[in-house]
Amino acid sequence: MRVRIATAAILCCLLAAGTAGAAPGTSASGHRLTPPQRERAAAGAPSPTVHRRRHPFQFPAQGPCQGGFCWTPGEPVIAVGPTEILETVNTAATVYNKTTGAQLAEFDFASFWDGSGTMSCVDPRALYLPTGQYAFSCTDTATGGPMRFAISKTTDPATGGWWVYAAPNTTSLDQDKIESTSDKFIVAGNTDTNEQIYVYNLSQVTSGVTHPQVKKLTATKSNLYEAAVEQTSASPGYLVASFPGQPLDLATITGTPAAANVKLKEQAIQVQDFPAPQEPQVPGGAIGGGDLDGRIYDAVYEQETSDSKPVIQFSSSRECGARTCLTSGRIDLSGTKPKLSSYQMIGEPGFDYSYGAVGLDAQGNVFEAYTRSRATQGAGAAVVGPGFDISLQPAAAGTTPCSGGSSPPCDERWGDYLGTAIDPSNPSVVWVTGLYQATSGGFGWGTTIAKVSLTSFSLPTVTTGSAKKIKAASATLTGTVNPNGVATTYHIDYGLTTGYDSSTSEASVGSGATPVSVSGGISGLQPGTLYHYRVVATTATGSADGPDRTFRTKAPAITGVTFTGTPSNPTVTITGTNLPTAPTPDPSAPLNCTAGDTSFDYGATGLWFEDSTEGWTGGQIGDCIGLILGTHTASTTSYQFGPFYSNFNPVTNGDSYTLMVDGVTFSGVVAYS
């Protein structure tokens, strides 16, 4: 559900200093071109400070809403052509000069479609077509309102005019999306139970045919697919869907209405998934608005120049520890059946990474536009790519989701998606657009557009070295950092996934121009567990990330268990290698357990006995009465039983026992010595 806060004419925009808008006029199809600079100057609306960098080329785009009406969320998407960029947000479309960032035209959705000035049309999308034309769409929020889309009449989206269409849906649909193949134009939207898909002949809608042929399809495996925007033109169209803990669904559309052979095929792809995401934190509240459900937010299709494989890359969000991370996955379409070839977390300890939009350059390198935030830092626009993680536009200082007079917690409906697009003139470049908190309040978003590539940023050179001195619960991680002449600090991220869970302390490596060896000792690890780690170097520009590497901690091995003392006061001694110190309960306050209790409340170390005559059938005596740690080394650990042991029958010779230490078991028969 989107929230409208007033009913007036236009969504105001921000422009870079010195950027000129187009003169007032009318497009070839009679739609208004509005210069927002004049609108803003007349209204006296302030502009937030724009965060600028030497690299990459970047300019502020639409938002925040400062005129008579606006919508939340922002949901920016971009389409990039040879000379112009088209950006859509709730609820307008704007055309920019790709070289300068100057605004060329704006189309207000309230009046664009029917001239009424009152239409509500949301969830906008933008697309660059293989014909060199542009398209955008939105969903009419009137009851039973159609999904609307427009195709530029020429390759000039600013002044060439637009053909306007409405899909023939008769029930209200949500989350419209558009996709173009080499011969089809596809519009889709969801109900509560399915995805409704409308397939047109591309040649008809790009030439302005008044009543183009259309074929309706219904996808049922998911009711919320995302279109895989085609960066390499192909005939099939693809949509993907997934939610936490569910299969990854792929919908393939073939044929054309002209040939009367349109078909839909849905198939499930298994994925080892992560937990559902949490609401991303910001000062004073959260920005999920309760709707960060882990759906796929963005997807692209291309045939990579590096290996000629057709692939779909998609992005979403999942929980990583107490945070939210991006997920980025790849479907390989080169075989007889589609398969998931990669699926990983993207994140940095201490931050929420959310609303990822994925882009691929022609070589298949992955770039993700995303929102970065935490409880002490407002939502900012950022981009992560091969070896770098950069804040493009941080939140304006002191802003929160709370409007004037409101008290925390304030939860802001941030959005469902962001946008990326490959540059058709230079396919090594990906353009990204993201949201940042420009003013306080639930409608205070702004957008920024940036051009990124493998060579966009001047950053340190980082390598992730080997893991050394690996033990059951500790290790030393190494690497190198070359500051490349810029003041640089480093830390080492580590954790159970590539979202990482913890980091070593930040340390300086100076500002030299030669590699510096770095290392960090870490402890408190789980025995016998695979860990990911990487070296991260940070400058005023952003972070350079070393490659992810892994190591496995030593697993414990048990070589013997002995019982000494007497049945009324036994001591248990465990011998082996890499023995951890088990969590030790307070012996004065053990669990209130009974015979047969198999609770496992003190971690992964337990000692239990099998003796039905004494009431210990499967009973976990060590946890029930409280284990008291005596001595501990990596090769010898001894325990005594707590005072509550006297409440139960004693452990005697001949009783069977099983010892478990971090998943390693050892069984035997009690024999006091």
| Whether residue 46 has pLDDT greater than 80 | no
Residue located via tokens 């921000």: 14
What's the whole-number mean pLDDT along residues 374-400?
Answer: 95
In degrees, to the nearest 5, what angle opens at C-alpha 496 toward C-alphas 490 and 502?
Answer: 35
pLDDT at 203: 98
What's the whole-number mean pLDDT along residues 503-524?
Answer: 97
pLDDT at 243: 92
Q: Express each pLDDT in 441-495 by its tens digit.
A: 888 889 999 999 999 999 999 999 999 999 988 999 999 999 999 999 999 999 9
Does residue 117 sit in helix, strand or coil? coil
Strands (E) located in 470-568: 474-482, 488-495, 502-503, 507-510, 516-523, 530-538, 543-545, 549-552, 557-566
Residue located via tokens 């966009």: 456
Select from 314, 299, 311 the least CA-distant residue to 346: 314
pLDDT at 644: 63
Q: What average pLDDT is seen over the chain? A: 84
Residue located via tokens 């990854």: 248
pLDDT at 627: 64
Select from 407, 484, 472 the least CA-distant residue to 632: 472
| Whether residue 24 has pLDDT greater than 50 | no
pLDDT at 361: 96
> Is residue 229 within 8 Å of 179, Cβ to Cβ?
yes
Element (H, E) at 325: strand 323-332
- Write the DSSP symbol of residue 613: G
| Whether residue 616 has pLDDT greater than 50 | no
Residue located via tokens 């298994």: 270
pLDDT at 32: 28
State phi, psi for 644 to the nearest 5 degrees.
-75, -10
> Is residue 556 within 8 Å of 580, Cβ to Cβ?
yes
User: Which of 189-198, 467-476, 586-595 has the lowest average pLDDT?
Assistant: 586-595
Question: Domains of the chain by range and CATH?
Answer: 277-457 (no CATH), 461-552 (2.60.40.10), 557-669 (2.60.40)
What's the whole-number mean pLDDT along residues 379-385?
Answer: 97
What's the whole-number mean pLDDT along residues 331-347?
Answer: 96
pLDDT at 418: 94
| Whether residue 642 has pLDDT greater than 90 | no
Q: Express each pLDDT in 158-179 by its tens digit.
A: 999 999 999 999 899 999 999 9
Q: Cα(563)–Cα(573) distance, rounded to whole angstroms? A: 7
Tokens of 541: 């520009």
Q: Cα(103)–Cα(37) distance, rounded to whole angstroms? A: 9
pLDDT at 664: 77
Q: Express each pLDDT in 115-150 by its tens digit.
A: 988 898 999 999 999 999 999 999 999 988 999 999
pLDDT at 52: 37
Q: Cα(349)–Cα(326) distance, rounded to whole angstroms? A: 12
What's the whole-number mean pLDDT along residues 172-195?
Answer: 96
* pTM for this entry: 0.84
Q: Cα(310)–Cα(412) distance, rounded to whole angstroms? A: 38
| Whether residue 16 has pLDDT greater than 90 | no
Looking at per-residue confidence, does 374 or 617 come out higher?
374
pLDDT at 622: 55
At residue 233 the predicted structure's pLDDT band, cuts being 50, 70 and 90, is very high
